[in-house]
Amino acid sequence: MFFVSDSTGVTAETLGHALLTQFEGLEYQGITLPFADNVAKIEAAVAQINRAAAERELRPIVFATLTEPTLYERLVRSNAFVLDVFNVFLAPLEAELSRRSSHASGRSHAMASKTDYDRRIAAINFALQHDDGASSPRYQDADLILIGVSRTGKTPTCLYLALQFGVHAANYPLTADDLGKLSLPVFLKPAKDRIFGLTIDPQRLHQIRTKRLPGSQYASLTQCRKEVQGAERLFADQTIPHLSTTTISIEEIGSRILQALGITRRLF
């Protein structure tokens, strides 16, 4: 599978993988050829695709996002099955909107505006400053606060929410004290309606912690069971919305949290 784009290729990859995962058991190697924005680069891509075609029984599948029709026309002459997103969707959109598209490359991932860029950076900085054990957290400025025991996915989720949506997400690791008292720390109480809990299967937590600190009490199954049980009891007792991260991706965790708390994205 090739992902050919005159920009980063992220759109082609996202779409391509979403479609190909619909074919169960299909194994494929994905090669991204980004920034193919002139004839020479497209001809180099075509040559590489044709070499792959010659080496294999099935012809390659190419997902493309080329805004320039003449480049697409060259690509489609390669010995591959070519699906071009812009070629398929732009014409019907032009008709619906009664206006012509600009056919300019790299727009979607070009920097839309300084404001958007600044928002994203601010969100990342916020997540980093409000990660496990922040020294002087400003929870009042958080769009949401993730709570959970150590290694339930709080940090990656906060960073994903910052990068993808510009959301200001803080996280707070539940302590033995919080779990013992079955209550939230005082400083979190004013933010109650923006708190979301993450939990995880104790067996999986045991695996993850063992990788980090093999043989430690922290990683023991008994300790993991105890902490997870405590956290889930706290969520139930305080009616805190929560989900288990055991079998879902960071993208799904992030999207479900925004939906549950009714939070609007700050980007796009």
Q: How far is the CB of 162 from a copy of itself (least distance, A)?
A: 8
Judged by CB under 8 A, the number of residues near a copy of itself is 76
Q: How far is the CB of 147 from a copy of itself (least distance, A)?
A: 19
- Of residues 175-234, which lie at the interface with a copy of itself (CB under 8 A)? 208, 211
How far is the C-alpha of 121 from the C-alpha of 103, rounded, in Å?
A: 29
Q: Is residue 144 classed as helix, strand or coil in its secondary structure?
A: strand
Q: Is residue 81 classed as helix, strand or coil in its secondary structure?
A: strand
| Interface residue with a copy of itself, options 53, 76, 163, 221 (CB under 8 A) | 163
Q: How far is the CB of 116 from a copy of itself (least distance, A)?
A: 9
Q: How far is CA 120 from the centre of its chain?
A: 14
Point out which span in 68-76, 138-146, 150-158, 230-238 binds a copy of itself (CB under 8 A).
150-158
Q: Which is nearer to a copy of itself, 19 or 39 (CB)?
A: 19
Q: Are 175 and 218 in contact (CB under 8 A)?
A: no
Query: Does residue number 136 form part of the binding site for a copy of itself (CB under 8 A)?
Result: no
Q: Which is nearer to a copy of itself, 32 or 48 (CB)?
A: 32
**Which residue's structure tokens are 């150590």?**
150
How far is the C-alpha of 234 from the C-alpha of 211, rounded, in Å?
A: 27
Query: Does residue number 241 form part of the binding site for a copy of itself (CB under 8 A)?
Result: no
- Of residues 99-118, which lie at the interface with a copy of itself (CB under 8 A)? 99, 101-104, 106-112, 117-118
Query: Does residue number 92 form part of the binding site for a copy of itself (CB under 8 A)?
Result: yes
Q: Which is nearer to a copy of itself, 32 or 50 (CB)?
A: 32
- Of residues 68-87, which lie at the interface with a copy of itself (CB under 8 A)? 81, 83, 85-86
Per-residue DSSP letter, 60: P
How far is the C-alpha of 193 from the C-alpha of 157, rounded, in Å?
A: 19
Q: Is residue 182 classed as helix, strand or coil in its secondary structure?
A: coil
- Of residues 47-66, which lie at the interface with a copy of itself (CB under 8 A)? 58, 61, 65
Question: Taking Cα atoms as reference points, which of 99, 98, 187 lies closest to residue 147?
Answer: 187
Q: List 81's β-bridge partners, or say none.
A: 61
